[in-house]
Chain A
Amino acid sequence: MSALMTLQSVSRSFGNNLALDDVSLEAYPGEVHCLLGDNGAGKSTLIKIMSGVTPPSSGTLTFDGRPVAFRSPRDAKAYGIGTVHQDVGSIPLISVARNFFLGNEPTKGWGPFRRLDHATANRIALEQIREMGIRRINDAGQLVGTMSGGERQALAIARALYFGARLLILDEPTAALGVKESKIVIDLMIKARSQGIALVFITHNATHALQVGDRFTVLIQGRIASQFKRGEKTREEVLNLMAGGEEFDAAGHGD
């Protein structure tokens, strides 16, 4: 199986500051690639490059076997790269359906009478988030603000997948969540993986990473400190690697 997205010797500097130094990684369909590292290790820069927010200073990006240069996040999105941010669904006072279709609103009618197709939007939004296993939501008119953190992540993931994401970048999706809520998100990642989606999972939490990770990249100060596959390193080794760059959360690895 070939990689869906490959980064080859990617570097990125801001002025004199080298944020990312010769990083290579591969994201495979049906696999979760965990990106671990402390704040300032270069994770954000890396996902900005992968999602078309910033171009790399040097190095090449390959998507689906072809070299690509994203001009914008929209461009990356068109290739099928979906990014789920921490503050997802943070437009709390609009409905689930309006949130789901934001920027891609279905319409009917023509000319000045072209209008939102509320019925279709509601039906699909509800279908899709229930598909994600969020059964508690049964009214697409419900405000997103009434959903829990995990449910909002589910909404964002459902949204990205519905609009054709083949590579899903999850930026600390469990960071602000409790144990139960995190489980919802982890389960969703497993589900997406089984559908052949390539996932890139950025996290601080070793437990969460080890639960779903197939491949791991540990970044320290913009460089790859270690890259390995599932089972190649013990839990202790992973924790030590992560601790090499940071003082990790004691609650995060005690299950």
Chain B
Amino acid sequence: MTATLETSTPAGPARRHGLIERLLGIVWIGPAIAAIVIYVFFVIVGGASGFLSIPGTAGWLNTAAELGIIAVPIGLLMIAGEFDLSTGSVVGAAAIIVALGTGFYGLPVALTMSMALVMGIAVGCFNALLVSVTRLPSFIVTLASNFILAGTSLGLSRLISGSSNVSLKDAGWAEAVFGSKWMFFNVSVLWYAVAIVIAAWVLKQTPFGNWIFATGGNVDAARRAGVPVARVKLILFIWTAVSSAFVGVMSAIMYNQGNAAQGQGYVFQSAIAAVIGGVLLQGGFGSVTGIVLGTFIYGIVSLGLFYTGWPTDWLATFIGALLVIAVLTNNFVRELALNRGKRKS
């Protein structure tokens, strides 16, 4: 899956691409190679202690799935040239809404879930509105909303229930939809698959996808071409926030509790996964396949380190180093792609 359109029938004399050159033309070639190398590394080092086993595989896939449901829309938003650092609080707020509503007040879970998702829509609108009205960088705007929302859900949760942690005993039908397992695989893996298919379809196959690339690539040129850039951003901010709310709902039901302070890890993890997956920080470039590979890499490293028997305290160090290497590699590959076929004058 590349960011470009495939030609079915190239007009004129077909250019001869070497295999290497052709591979370098694939947007997600960097993360694909990285994922394979890292996977093989942990198979060698941690394979004996169970990295390759079904629980081991389910472990990293579950991690990747929960992160990915947020990271994929975050990646699209980043391709459109914006950031969202409020995802963490949305996860926490959604979880506590469901836990308080259903666990504390005994409201039907369908209602509290809807409330959580509507909260997501509201946060997305708020972020988009603030970005377009104030013209402040979304980095700052969403950082602010992350804090505002985190404080609010913590405060309200303690005010209502006396605790920031509320248990949710029986979520009824929702347990099967969001909390079930097959062997060791969480149902979140299936939800992630759905999220991937939708995002890939939108980015690759719809005019809206083209607008995402253009908005991030050059917002003025996009506007002049008639792309409704404010609407593109609004939809992506809502998409991101609703996806985060979804993960919050899912975790509350899966773990039978909601915590207003949970989810902050997603704020940076989702952006890291997108960047490792080849999304350009300045926007205008990236692919869903790449982002998915980025979440796989994150999952493999998180779980793989556990199976090596090394102290997992070093996880963040490992991820940080990986991030730097990923950015440099992706820049290099992109330069190669751009120079390919450029006329020397």
User: Is A180 engaged at the interface, CB distance under 8 Å to the other chain?
Assistant: yes
Interface residues of A in 30-54 (CB under 8 A from B): none
List the B side residues contacting A13 at CB < 8 Å: none
Interface residues of A in 151-179 (CB under 8 A from B): 178
User: Is A64 engaged at the interface, CB distance under 8 Å to the other chain?
Assistant: no
User: Is A187 engaged at the interface, CB distance under 8 Å to the other chain?
Assistant: no
Contact between chains at B221 and A142 (CB < 8 Å): no
User: Is B226 engaged at the interface, CB distance under 8 Å to the other chain?
Assistant: yes
Contact between chains at A143 and B337 (CB < 8 Å): yes
Among the 9-residue stretches A21-29, A81-89, A208-216, A223-231, the one with 4 or more Cβ atoms under 8 Å from chain B is: A81-89
List the A side residues contacting B10 at CB < 8 Å: 138-139
Interface residues of A in 76-132 (CB under 8 A from B): 77, 83, 85, 87-95, 97-98, 101-105, 107, 114-116, 118-119, 121-123, 126-127, 130
User: Is B132 engaged at the interface, CB distance under 8 Å to the other chain?
Assistant: no
- Asked, given contacts A94-B3, A122-B5, whether A127 binds B284 with beta carbons under 8 Å apart, the answer is no
* Alpha-carbon separation in the docked complex, A143 to B5 (Å): 9
List the A side residues contacting B205 at CB < 8 Å: 115-116
Q: Which of B9, B14, B280, B343 contacts A93 (CB 8 A)?
A: B280
User: Is A136 engaged at the interface, CB distance under 8 Å to the other chain?
Assistant: yes
Interface size class of B (residues with CB under 8 A): 35 or more
Contact between chains at B338 and A141 (CB < 8 Å): no
User: Is A191 engaged at the interface, CB distance under 8 Å to the other chain?
Assistant: no
- Asked, given contacts A130-B12, A148-B343, whether A141 binds B7 with beta carbons under 8 Å apart, the answer is yes
User: Is B206 engaged at the interface, CB distance under 8 Å to the other chain?
Assistant: yes
User: Is B13 engaged at the interface, CB distance under 8 Å to the other chain?
Assistant: yes
User: Is A146 engaged at the interface, CB distance under 8 Å to the other chain?
Assistant: yes
A105 to chain B, nearest CB (A): 4
User: Is B136 engaged at the interface, CB distance under 8 Å to the other chain?
Assistant: no
Contact between chains at A145 and B338 (CB < 8 Å): yes
List the A side residues contacting B345 at CB < 8 Å: 148, 178, 180-181
User: Is B20 engaged at the interface, CB distance under 8 Å to the other chain?
Assistant: no
Q: Which of B220, B226, B227, B338 contacts A77 (CB 8 A)?
A: B226
User: Is B224 engaged at the interface, CB distance under 8 Å to the other chain?
Assistant: yes
List the B side residues contacting A135 at CB < 8 Å: 12
Contact between chains at B213 and A91 (CB < 8 Å): yes
User: Is B135 engaged at the interface, CB distance under 8 Å to the other chain?
Assistant: no
List the A side residues contacting B338 at CB < 8 Å: 92-93, 143, 145-146
Contact between chains at A95 and B284 (CB < 8 Å): no
User: Is B6 engaged at the interface, CB distance under 8 Å to the other chain?
Assistant: yes
Total chain A interface residues with beta-carbon distance under 8 A: 47
User: Is A73 engaged at the interface, CB distance under 8 Å to the other chain?
Assistant: yes
User: Is B52 engaged at the interface, CB distance under 8 Å to the other chain?
Assistant: no
Contact between chains at B11 and A116 (CB < 8 Å): no
Most B-side CB within 10 Å, residue of A94, A101, A135, A148: A94
Contact between chains at A94 and B217 (CB < 8 Å): yes
List the B side residues contacting A101 at CB < 8 Å: 210
* Alpha-carbon separation in the docked complex, A142 to B6 (Å): 9
* Alpha-carbon separation in the docked complex, A146 to B207 (Å): 23
Contact between chains at A92 and B8 (CB < 8 Å): no
User: Is A253 engaged at the interface, CB distance under 8 Å to the other chain?
Assistant: no
B327 to chain A, nearest CB (A): 16
User: Is A74 engaged at the interface, CB distance under 8 Å to the other chain?
Assistant: yes
List the B side residues contacting A148 at CB < 8 Å: 342-343, 345
Contact between chains at A73 and B341 (CB < 8 Å): no
Contact between chains at A123 and B9 (CB < 8 Å): yes
- Asked, given contacts A83-B224, A93-B217, A148-B343, whether A105 binds B210 with beta carbons under 8 Å apart, the answer is yes
User: Is B339 engaged at the interface, CB distance under 8 Å to the other chain?
Assistant: yes
User: Is B183 engaged at the interface, CB distance under 8 Å to the other chain?
Assistant: no
Contact between chains at B227 and A141 (CB < 8 Å): no
User: Is B218 engaged at the interface, CB distance under 8 Å to the other chain?
Assistant: yes
- Asked, given contacts A88-B221, A93-B284, A138-B14, whether A105 binds B207 with beta carbons under 8 Å apart, the answer is yes
Contact between chains at A142 and B210 (CB < 8 Å): no
Contact between chains at B343 and A87 (CB < 8 Å): no
A-B contact pairs, 28 of them (CB 8 A): A73-B224, A89-B221, A90-B217, A90-B218, A91-B218, A91-B222, A93-B3, A93-B284, A94-B214, A95-B4, A98-B213, A98-B214, A104-B226, A105-B207, A107-B207, A115-B205, A115-B206, A116-B207, A122-B6, A130-B11, A135-B12, A138-B11, A141-B2, A142-B341, A143-B4, A146-B338, A148-B345, A180-B345
Known: A83-B224, A102-B222, A178-B345. 6 other contacts (CB 8 A): A87-B220, A90-B217, A104-B226, A115-B206, A122-B8, A139-B10
- Interface pairs A-B: 4 shortest CB-CB: A91-B217, A103-B226, A105-B207, A95-B4
